[in-house]
Amino acid sequence: MSTTEPAHPVLSLRGVAFERAGRSILRSVDWEVGEGQRWVVLGPNGCGKTTLARIATMWEHPSGGEIELLGERLGNTDVRSLRRRVSLVSAAMADMVRPALTALEVVVCARFAALEPWWHSYSDADMERAAAMLADQGLADFSGRAFGTLSSGERQRVLLARAVMSRPEFLVLDEPSAGLDLAGREQLLERLDVLASDPGAAPTVLVTHHVEEIPPSYTHVLALREGRTLASGPLDDTLSDELLSACFGLSVRLDRHDSPSGVRYSARQDR
Ligand SMILES: Nc1ncnc2c1ncn2[C@@H]1O[C@H](COP(=O)(O)OP(=O)(O)OP(=O)(O)O)[C@@H](O)[C@H]1O
Ligand SMILES: [Mg+2]
């Protein structure tokens, strides 16, 4: 695995800071995401992961630093049109979906970056693509089901189908496994690996607290603590007992498990 910096990063952050209510929430974050990379952003509650995810997708404006996304520099570009080229999936977005919408409607309305289907008309190709995205998530039989009647795991997979509907050039998933049981988490990880196996897959960032939630197809990790970068680089070289211990503030033992689909991780307190 290459450790060199990508020649043309999809996302580049230099010295990014974020302050609110007199508090420093992110401090001097440098980060480059390249084509073909899939990053995990790891860190404890409140360390700034969601803030970073929102800044990286242009939903939040940093207090300082420089950002380039998809070749456009923040400050010299229309952020609304740039946002249409990226997808952010988060709990906040799930809460905005009207529960009566069908799974198919939730997916197809991403075609126009909308949360309701009625302001736009959709071509047969749009409907077919939405159905195919649901099928890719193992939800072919769920297209007519109301979003509000789906389980948490099924909803997450609908949101993932929605996230890729518009062919984003950069995909950010903020804690997609939150609230899922073991089977739901494993299904979601498998679907993330399936997405990643597409040769045209967008570079992706997955925010999580848990190394158990790192899909085998993921390549890099950025570890945050109290708004600062502790480490960033290829997973194999970067993730360690020492890094996790520093990140979560307790003595942690990391275990690697080889599986047919790649490396999985687990962690526990080292007593
Ligand atoms: N707009 C804001 N105003 C004030 N404080 C904020 C704002 N946005 C975030 N914060 C604070 O910044 C810190 C980082 O928040 P953030 O949501 O980015 O953390 P996180 O790493 O995603 O946490 P979690 O793992 O719990 O989701 C928190 O202490 C939060 O209360
Ligand atoms: Mg968060």
Look at residue 2 and tell me whether its pLDDT is greater than 50: no
pLDDT at position 169 is 96
DSSP 228: E
- In this structure, which amino acid lies at residue 217? S
- Ligand 1 neighbourhood includes 20 CB (under 6 angstroms): yes
- Ligand 1 neighbourhood includes 22 CB (under 6 angstroms): no
- Ligand 1 neighbourhood includes 49 CB (under 6 angstroms): yes
Mean pLDDT of 79-89: 92
* Spatial separation of the C-alpha atoms in residues 41 and 73, rounded to whole Å: 22
Backbone angles phi, psi at 162, to 5 degrees: -60, -40
Look at residue 3 and tell me whether its pLDDT is greater than 80: no
* Ligand with smallest separation from the Cα of 44: 1
Mean pLDDT of 13-30: 97
> For the chain, what's the residue count?
271
* Ligand with smallest separation from the Cα of 46: 1
DSSP 116: -
pLDDT at position 1 is 44
CB 54 within 8 A of CB 37: no
From 24, 26, 40, 49, give the residue whose CB has the most ligand 1 atoms within 8 Å, as the site to mutate: 49
> CA end-to-end span of the chain, whole Å?
33
pLDDT band at 8 (very low <50, low <70, confident <90, very high): confident
Task: Count Cβ atoms below 10 Å from residue 182 Cβ, excluding itself.
Answer: 8
Q: How confident is the model over 227-239, as pLDDT tens digits?
A: 999 999 999 999 9
* Spatial separation of the C-alpha atoms in residues 162 and 185, rounded to whole Å: 18
* Ligand with smallest separation from the Cα of 42: 1
pLDDT at position 171 is 96
Share above pLDDT 90 across residues of the chain, in percent, rounded to a whole number: 77
- In this structure, which amino acid lies at residue 80? R
Q: How confident is the model over 36-78, as pLDDT tens digits?
A: 999 999 999 999 999 999 999 999 999 999 999 999 999 988 9
* Spatial separation of the C-alpha atoms in residues 171 and 232, rounded to whole Å: 19
* Spatial separation of the C-alpha atoms in residues 241 and 110, rounded to whole Å: 40
pLDDT at position 5 is 54
Sequence-distant (≥ 6) Cβ neighbours of residue 118 within 8 angstroms: none
Nearest to 112 by CA among 91, 95, 130, 99: 130
- Ligand 1 neighbourhood includes 182 CB (under 6 angstroms): no
- CA of 264: how far to CAs of 25, 237, 254, 258, 260, in Å? 30, 14, 11, 6, 10
Q: Could you tell me the distance, in angstroms and rounded to a whole number, from the CA of residue 124 to the centre of ligand 1?
A: 41
Q: Could you tell me the distance, in angstroms and rounded to a whole number, from the CA of residue 251 to the centre of ligand 2?
A: 23
pLDDT at position 93 is 83
